[in-house]
């Protein structure tokens, strides 16, 4: 059967096994990546680093992924590379082995840049395949895909607390075995794309070309507003992923392991929030989800720096859950604005997320050295005010 003669339902059907496979790959990918910030207390102690150098590590890691992701997405939209996902996992695995043996800051920076390279390959291509397998349920597919990543990010602090902190920096190389598992899984996804997915991609591109395109001014304005919202969301998020453990240690005198356990609670809530945003966006619209998930957490973020330990951790988790529901809706919203460039759009948004996290982590590290980590959280509490920009988002399906 030629692509042109495929029935509409074959393109619009949801291929759940493929979505679950890329979600599991996302879990493995982000589990390995989350070992970097989760190991910061250990690296800070072993190498005698300050907060500015911790921020530099995040800057190199996130910056590498930020620059390359939209370029990878743009390339694979035109020339799909179904087995690139497995190659990205290989780069991450090599980076972890080098990080386990790193004795200098320069070696740490080289290792995290390789892990960032693996991320830049994985995210846009995996997101494009998830959209391709979604059929008429793009929000659902994007949420399932992203919840895998957030679950992996949540497991990273636990892995660091119970394995890396217990057995030392060298144990980081054990997680290269996770990269091997991911390579096998994602090679199977690549095989599905070769046998089935490529035909679906051609059919969907034909339909996207036939659809009435939105005016360029609407697309540009919508993307500008979306970028502003992504800045708000991910700058606040990186303050937790990179520095929340240090904040808890300084303010409440927790041990490293106790602080990482609290970080796990926050990241687990983020994972739960991710699965909510996409399906709700399929029902009520992406714009409403984006608005309430970012602006709606403002009372929580303002109160958080002043709360005692247990309420602090609980409110942080609730804020993370609500805030996380925005990103699946953001990705699908942007893909609705530019339906012929789903891989590039995903790469752009993931790249922006990593880039904002890179610069944000570096800037927050400098501020923490100058003013103290507690003051940084009091300032970051007002970042969700930028969520007001969601009122101005155009409706792409209007």
**For the residues of 32-56, what is the DSSP string, one character each?**
HHHHHHHTHHHHHHHHT--HHHHHH
Tell me, what's the pLDDT at 76?
A: 73
On whether the CB atoms of residues 117 and 90 are closer than 8 A, the answer is: no
Tell me, what's the pLDDT at 199?
A: 66
Which residue ranges in the chain fall short of pLDDT 70? 1-12, 197-199, 201-213, 343, 354, 358, 396-398
Domains of the chain: 9-392 (1.20.1250.20)
**Cα 381 to Cα 398: distance, rounded to the nearest angstrom:** 34
Tell me, what's the pLDDT at 111?
A: 94
pLDDT digits (tens, 9 = 90+) for 58-88: 888 877 877 777 777 777 777 777 788 898 9
Alpha helices per DSSP H over the chain: 8-12, 16-38, 40-47, 51-78, 84-100, 105-134, 138-159, 165-167, 176-192, 198-210, 216-252, 256-284, 286-294, 298-303, 309-324, 326-337, 342-371, 373-380
């Amino acid at each position: 059967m030629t692509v042109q003669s495929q029935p509409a339902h074959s393109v619009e059907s949801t291929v759940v096994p493929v979505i679950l496979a890329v979600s599991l790959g996302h879990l493995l990918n982000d589990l390995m990546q989350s070992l970097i910030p989760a190991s910061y207390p250990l690296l800070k102690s072993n190498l005698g680093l300050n907060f500015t150098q911790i921020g530099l590590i995040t800057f190199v890691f996130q910056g590498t992924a930020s620059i390359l992701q939209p370029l990878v997405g743009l390339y694979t939209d035109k020339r799909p590379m179904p087995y690139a996902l497995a190659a990205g996992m290989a780069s991450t695995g090599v980076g972890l082995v080098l990080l386990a043996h790193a004795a200098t800051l320069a070696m740490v920076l080289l290792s995290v840049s390789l892990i960032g390279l693996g991320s830049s390959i994985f995210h846009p291509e995996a997101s494009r395949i998830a959209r391709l397998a979604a059929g008429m349920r793009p929000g659902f597919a994007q949420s399932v895909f992203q919840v895998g990543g957030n679950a992996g990010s949540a497991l990273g602090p636990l892995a660091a607390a119970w394995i890396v902190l217990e057995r030392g920096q060298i144990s980081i190389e054990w997680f290269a075995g996770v990269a091997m598992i991911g390579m096998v899984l994602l090679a199977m996804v690549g095989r599905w794309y070769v046998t089935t997915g490529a035909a679906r991609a051609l059919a969907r591109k034909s339909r996207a070309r036939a659809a009435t395109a939105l005016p360029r001014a609407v697309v540009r304005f919508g993307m500008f507003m979306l970028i502003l919202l992504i800045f708000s969301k991910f700058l606040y998020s990186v303050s937790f992923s990179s520095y929340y453990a240090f904040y808890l240690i300084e303010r409440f005198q927790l041990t490293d392991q106790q602080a990482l356990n609290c970080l796990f609670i926050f990241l687990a809530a983020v994972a739960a929030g991710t699965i909510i945003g996409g399906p709700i966006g399929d029902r009520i619209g992406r714009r409403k989800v984006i608005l309430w998930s970012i602006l709606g957490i403002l009372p929580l973020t303002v109160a958080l720096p002043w709360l005692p330990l247990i309420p602090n951790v609980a409110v942080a988790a609730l804020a993370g859950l609500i805030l996380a529901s925005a990103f699946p809706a953001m990705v699908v919203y942007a893909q609705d604005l530019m339906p012929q460039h789903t891989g590039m759009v995903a790469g752009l948004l993931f790249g922006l997320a990593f880039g904002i996290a890179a610069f944000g982590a570096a800037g927050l590290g400098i501020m923490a050295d100058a003013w103290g980590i507690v003051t940084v959280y009091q300032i970051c509490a007002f970042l969700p005010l930028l969520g007001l920009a969601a009122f101005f988002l155009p409706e792409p399906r209007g």
